[in-house]
Amino acid sequence: MPSTTPKRFRVIPQEQGMTLRNLLARRVRELDRESAGKLIRAGGVYVNKLRVRLPQVLVAPGERVTVHLDALAAEPLDPALLKFVHRDPDFVVLDKHAGVPVAATRETAVGCLSEALIHALATEGVSRPYVGVVHRLDRGASGLVLFTVRSVANKSLHKQFVEHSIRRGYRLRVQPNPGAGAPAAEIRCDAPLVKLREGGVEIAQPGASGAMSAVTHFRHVAEVPPLSGNGPSEHLLDAELETGRTHQIRAHAAHLGFPIVGDRRYGSASTDLHERLCLHAWTLEFAHPQTGAPLRFEAPLPDWAQVPAVYR
């Protein structure tokens, strides 16, 4: 469901010293004091560029307030639904459900994986739990996500990501564009990407300002029947990243003529019919942040990502 346009306004002199909750109840017709407080606690309100989650914060003239009413509809993620793949004193590996954001979105801080993990740790008796987001995974994708639960582990793990020594393997299901044919056994895509103002990325034109290097390795796994039950065959691919740009696998797959099934941003009219994005973070390999020991984790493949017995 697309987000509604945020509301923006500036605090006027007559409103100096008001609480943020009372200010919203005064200035936003959709809100009363109760709903304004709920919206603020959900992370849907910014003062200047800072997200504020305390309704009693006092405002000052000239401050710019941004309100995302979508946050009112956000539902917390039940910590009991977290799927732990591995737990360590320094970090946690979770298997993310499709449709769940890894961290707070622009509209709300409610319903994301990181906040649910904080609540889970607090429930276990951890005082002032810390959760660090090491890397992201598209909201529509599923699979492995790594978090630190001690700040001391951040430097080591972030360094591994910067140096590309952390290996991430993905399984995706694609439907070739008409005329594209079947994917080759192995494909290396190094098309640079550029961020778009409205979000997402696109393949950068030669010499484009802001172009970012991006390298994805694809390997053909199997040709499979379409999920919809009719139409042309689809294909399962495995992908490994050398770089970790926003939407990199999705943009590169579409650029090669093999958009991911269920991809409503980079896919085609035929590939976006499936109810979910067929992209799964399958494997994760990195060195332990304290001991340096090699670690490898796997997330079970969803049904759409498995090769039917008849095709093996």
Tens-place pLDDT, residues 174-197: 999 988 889 999 999 999 999 998
In a domain, 87, yes or no: yes
Q: Judge if 69 and 84 occupy the same domain.
A: no
Q: Is the pTM of this model over 0.85?
A: yes
Q: Judge if 281 and 163 occupy the same domain.
A: yes
Alpha-carbon distance of 221 to 130, in angstroms, equals 39
Nearby residues of 189 by Cβ (< 8 Å), 6 or more positions away: 214, 215, 216, 217, 218, 252, 255, 256
Three-state DSSP at 165 gives coil
Q: Judge if 169 and 305 occupy the same domain.
A: yes
Of 45, 73, 101, which residue is a domain's last?
73
Give the residues of the chain that fall short of pLDDT 70.
Answer: 1-3, 269-273, 309-312
Q: Judge if 31 and 94 occupy the same domain.
A: no
User: Inter-axis angle of helices 20-27 and 33-41, to 10 degrees?
Assistant: 120
Of 51, 73, 95, which residue is a domain's last?
73
Q: Judge if 131 and 149 occupy the same domain.
A: yes
The pLDDT score that the predictor gives to residue 282 is: 95
Among this protein's residues, is 272 annotated catalytic? no
Nearby residues of 73 by Cβ (< 8 Å), 6 or more positions away: none
Q: Which of 235, 286, 281, 243 is nearest to 261 (CA)?
A: 235
Q: Judge if 187 and 149 occupy the same domain.
A: yes
The pLDDT score that the predictor gives to residue 248 is: 96
In a domain, 196, yes or no: yes
Q: Which CATH number characterizes residue 175's domain?
A: 3.30.2350.10
Q: Judge if 246 and 282 occupy the same domain.
A: yes
In a domain, 2, yes or no: no
Nearby residues of 148 by Cβ (< 8 Å), 6 or more positions away: 90, 91, 92, 130, 131, 132, 134, 154, 157, 289
Q: Judge if 69 and 199 occupy the same domain.
A: no
Task: Please write the tens of the pLDDT for every residue from 71-127.
Answer: 999 999 999 999 999 999 999 999 999 999 999 999 999 999 999 999 999 999 888
Q: Judge if 41 and 103 occupy the same domain.
A: no
Of 73, 95, 113, which residue is a domain's last?
73
What separation in angstroms does the CA of 14 have from each of 8, 57, 66? 18, 16, 19
Q: Judge if 52 and 95 occupy the same domain.
A: no
Range of the structural domain that residue 41 is part of: 7-73
Q: Which of 266, 152, 246, 146 is nearest to 194 (CA)?
A: 246
The number of folded domains in the chain is: 2
Three-state DSSP at 129 gives coil
Q: Judge if 91 and 214 occupy the same domain.
A: yes
Catalytic residue among 70, 90, 138, 263: 138
Backbone dihedral angles phi then psi of residue 3, each to the nearest 5 degrees: -75, 150
Q: Which CATH number characterizes residue 62's domain?
A: 3.10.290.10
**Beta-carbon-side half-sphere exposure of residue 185 (alpha carbons within 13 Å):** 0
Q: Judge if 152 and 223 occupy the same domain.
A: yes
